[in-house]
Structure 1
Amino acid sequence: MRVVRVAIVTESFLPTLNGVTTSVCRVLDHLADTGHEAMVVCPGPAPAAYRGFPVRTVRGVTVRGFRVGVPTFELERILADYAPQVVHAASPFGHGARGLAAARNLGLPSVAVYQTDMPTYLAQHGGPISGGVERATWRWLRHLHSLADITLAPSSTTLQELNDHGIPRTALWGRGVDTVTYHPDRRFEEEVADLRRCVAPHGETVLGYVGRLAPEKEIHRLAEVADLPHTSIVIVGDGPSRDRLERLLPKAHFLGFREGLPLAQAYAALDLFVHTGCHETFGQTLQEAMAAGLPVVAPAAGGPLDIVKPGVTGLLFDPERDGALRQAVGSLAADESMRTRMGASGRRKVEQRSWASVVDQLLDFYADAINPAYARRVA
């Protein structure tokens, strides 16, 4: 494969850990493993390098716990000096939008990866003007994505939503999952057995959630299953909603933020994974849970529609119907054989979704941006 030189302009990077950072790091890992060239441009502070690739920082500010890059013309100079073949904008909004504009000004091809549902997120914090905030956000997204040669959506639902809002030149690009770190065999590790003894001392069925504890994740829905007989709830993650959730779910076990092996062991300690948010563009934790051999329950909305096959790898519930989540979780909690069957099916499904194969698809999109079909010579 021909070597590609890419500049990744990302709204989030290390040491901040979230879905955007994780995706960018996995892309960089595969680029490094396959001999490509890359540079990262992100809000500071950040490490000076990652996997041998330089990391350039721009000025950033902290907003609601997130590090946000300040859009400046410095980004144009950084890209001009590096001279990439293609600019990859990861979840662009502010800093990333400036990256797309700089790429357009410099005549550089660009690929934008849509990952965060910013219209819904901002609307949830807009109070009485939430509708206006959402409309204004979509107007901004249409503008910034019009600067990209290709915009990649992580799920078919999100792809349709982008098309409905007039985002041009879209395509579907999913996410990979680490099937080595997240593996059913971890359930037999001593650390996992110790954790289960702590959270399920009487052999309870362990229901788990993993992710950021924030209003948009709708974790309050777990109150619907808090009194299911012979079950125990485990919540992995941290965020601004933690105090409120601890009051709402006083019997739940809050394990805090985990990553790497400790996170994989937390998944392995569960019997059933419960996803609560209705506005996910994808649902990476669902894939991680399935890689760990867990059946999953998720809303019949957004990204989970592409990931969960009802009755095979888990169950989807109607988020608009009272009691639907309890019914779905209750049926799985009461049936160990069904959990085992669905967990095995989920594991088989995600084994085909390695990050290597997913990033190879991304390289094809880079090639399409660099050499678009209309510019190719007919042999």
Structure 2
Amino acid sequence: MSGRESGADPSFLCVHPHCELYGSDRTFLQSVRALKVRWPRAKITVLLTGKGPLYEAMREIVEDVRIDDMFVLRRSHFGPKLIFQLPRLASRIWKARRTMARYDVTYLNTVVVLDYMLASRLRRRPVLIHVHELPTGITAVVFSALLWLARAILIYISAATRNSYGWLKRKPAVIVWNGTQARAVLPRESAPGIVNLLLIGRFNAWKGQPLLLDALALLEPAERERLRVRLVGSVYAGQEHFKVAIEEKIAALDLSKTVELLGFDPNPDRYYAWADVVAVPSMEPEPFGLVAIEAMSASRAVIAADHGGLTEIVDDGVTGTLVTPGDATALRDAVRRYLADPALASTQGAAGLARFAAHFAEERYMAGIADAAQMVLDGALPSDLAAAPVSATSVA
């Protein structure tokens, strides 16, 4: 157990395998802020993989932010190549164990911090592992095995994420929905008779930009004249082909007058101000769906794929529209509803704002994370978790 005396200020080690400001990065920032708010005098050390936007933002919250050569699990490790990395991994596990021993609570954000994940097995006190991943195939097997080995209390970002690790049902866990800051009421910028449709997301194989383009091509020309679409995002280095494919598809479907491509912006407020409706047509299940709650915080209606964590966010017909995943016709029909009744976006946006305030406000998320940390500090056993009061969470 930790050597912490009763009543003493706790110490936290917070580990994150990235340094940008995308979804899980921003969530990590909120988590560290939650610990700082709950325990203002706590010793908090943050480990990142490099200096980037997250490093600079984190320095505004805590003083001790370090760069660590942690062993981050990559797809390239899924195979024989991992054998050649075993000596380095063993060394990293031993170093991680020594580092963790100096803190009351270790908080690992995401499943891919392999050295710290495995080192938790060697620690007498459980750690917190924040599970953002909703994997499939061999990745699901690997992640499930790692979580089974870890001596940890798991924080899932949605029930959908929790259910994807079916054989870990007996692992102590809580569900804490992500949260985001409330936004000032954003006046709509669309012209009379025009519907502005926004999709924010990285250009990759599953965020659904090509599907949305297919849906737009199914609209009548007169309908497209009353629609403006912005696709906002960027690609990982080496994956520029995804953006090129979207550009080529826009040209091939003759959508250049309707669709505009814009680069990623870590502050998306101006895009939400422009939008009437926000689309999240993910081809694969989202672990949660941060864009959806951001849109709701801006009082915007949401069109979302009917799977994964999005089904826990969007109240179909009330705060937006759920559509069959991968179905361009269903997506077209959803867009067509807002074209036929532009006032629907305002009505659903208002309902979305109320739902956001009730379930997805940043303060509720931060309370849930701090309460989970309190459980570890109190030495809560798995049998105690069913009765543990955890703000803004549900106990799995």
The two structures share one fold, judged by TM-score above 0.5: yes
- Cα distance, 1:60 vs structure 2: 6.7
Whether contact under 8 Å (1:100, 1:110) holds in the other structure is no
- Partner SS for 1:55: strand
Q: Distance in 2 between matches of 1:245 and 1:99?
A: 38
Higher relative contact order (CA 8 A, sep 6+): 2
- Partner SS for 1:104: helix
- Partner SS for 2:164: helix
Residue 236 to residue 166, structure 1, CA distance change in 2 (3 Å): same
Partner of 1:363: 370
Whether contact under 8 Å (2:296, 2:352) holds in the other structure is yes
- Cα distance, 1:77 vs structure 2: 3.4
Q: Distance in 1 between matches of 2:8 and 2:313?
A: 32
- Cα distance, 1:163 vs structure 2: 2.2
- Cα distance, 1:179 vs structure 2: 0.7
Partner of 2:247: 246
Correspondence for 2:215 among 218, 225, 248: 225
Whether contact under 8 Å (1:145, 1:167) holds in the other structure is no
The AA in structure 1 aligned to 2:110 is S
Whether contact under 8 Å (1:224, 1:325) holds in the other structure is no
Residue 173 to residue 375, structure 1, CA distance change in 2 (3 Å): closer
- Partner SS for 2:325: coil
- Cα distance, 1:155 vs structure 2: 1.4
Whether contact under 8 Å (1:85, 1:109) holds in the other structure is no
Matched ranges for 1:40-59 at <5 A? 40-45=46-51, 47=55, 50=59, 51-59=61-69
Partner of 1:91: 110
User: Which deviates more, 34-43 or 308-317?
Assistant: 34-43
The AA in structure 2 aligned to 1:109 is P
Q: Distance in 2 between matches of 1:30 and 1:367?
A: 12
Length-normalised TM-score, structure 1: 0.80
Root mean square deviation of aligned Cα: 2.7
Q: Distance in 1 between matches of 2:108 and 2:260?
A: 37
Whether contact under 8 Å (2:71, 2:115) holds in the other structure is no
Q: Distance in 2 between matches of 1:97 and 1:367?
A: 24
User: Which deviates more, 348-357 or 251-260?
Assistant: 348-357
The AA in structure 2 aligned to 1:186 is L
- Cα distance, 1:23 vs structure 2: 0.3
Matched ranges for 1:192-207 at <5 A? 193=189, 204-207=194-197
Partner of 1:109: 126
Q: Distance in 2 between matches of 1:57 and 1:280?
A: 29
Q: Distance in 2 between matches of 1:20 and 1:173?
A: 14
The AA in structure 2 aligned to 1:138 is A
Q: Provide Cα deviations, 1:152-196, integer angstroms capped at 9, x if missing partner.
A: 21112221122256673332111111113xx3x3326xxxx5xx6
Whether contact under 8 Å (2:44, 2:62) holds in the other structure is no
Matched ranges for 1:1-379 at <5 A? 3-13=9-19, 16-34=20-38, 35=40, 36-45=42-51, 47=55, 50=59, 51-59=61-69, 72-73=92-93, 74-80=95-101, 83-93=102-112, 96-117=113-134, 119-120=135-136, 134-135=137-138, 137-146=139-148, 147-164=150-167, 168-180=171-183, 183=184, 185-187=185-187, 193=189, 204-227=194-217, 228=219, 229=223, 230-239=226-235, 240=239, 241-250=242-251, 251=256, 252-260=259-267, 263-277=268-282, 278-319=284-325, 321-352=327-358, 353-370=360-377, 371-373=379-381
Length-normalised TM-score, structure 2: 0.77
Structure 1: gaps of 5 or more residues? 65-69, 121-133
Residue 308 to residue 234, structure 1, CA distance change in 2 (3 Å): same
Whether contact under 8 Å (2:215, 2:329) holds in the other structure is no
Q: Provide Cα deviations, 1:333-360, integer angstroms capped at 9, x if missing partner.
A: 3212211110000011112322222121
- Cα distance, 1:286 vs structure 2: 0.2
User: Which deviates more, 345-354 or 361-370?
Assistant: 361-370
Whether contact under 8 Å (1:7, 1:39) holds in the other structure is yes
Residue 60 to residue 104, structure 1, CA distance change in 2 (3 Å): closer
- Partner SS for 1:101: helix
Whether contact under 8 Å (2:133, 2:161) holds in the other structure is no
Q: How many residues align?
A: 335
User: Which deviates more, 2-11 or 208-217?
Assistant: 2-11
Whether contact under 8 Å (1:11, 1:42) holds in the other structure is yes
Whether contact under 8 Å (2:9, 2:43) holds in the other structure is yes
- Cα distance, 1:213 vs structure 2: 1.1
Residue 225 to residue 310, structure 1, CA distance change in 2 (3 Å): same
Structure 2: gaps of 5 or more residues? 1-6, 76-87, 385-396
- Partner SS for 1:107: coil
Whether contact under 8 Å (2:18, 2:50) holds in the other structure is no
The AA in structure 1 aligned to 2:26 is T
The AA in structure 1 aligned to 2:97 is E
Residue 374 to residue 60, structure 1, CA distance change in 2 (3 Å): closer
- Cα distance, 1:253 vs structure 2: 0.8
Q: Distance in 1 between matches of 2:34 and 2:154?
A: 21
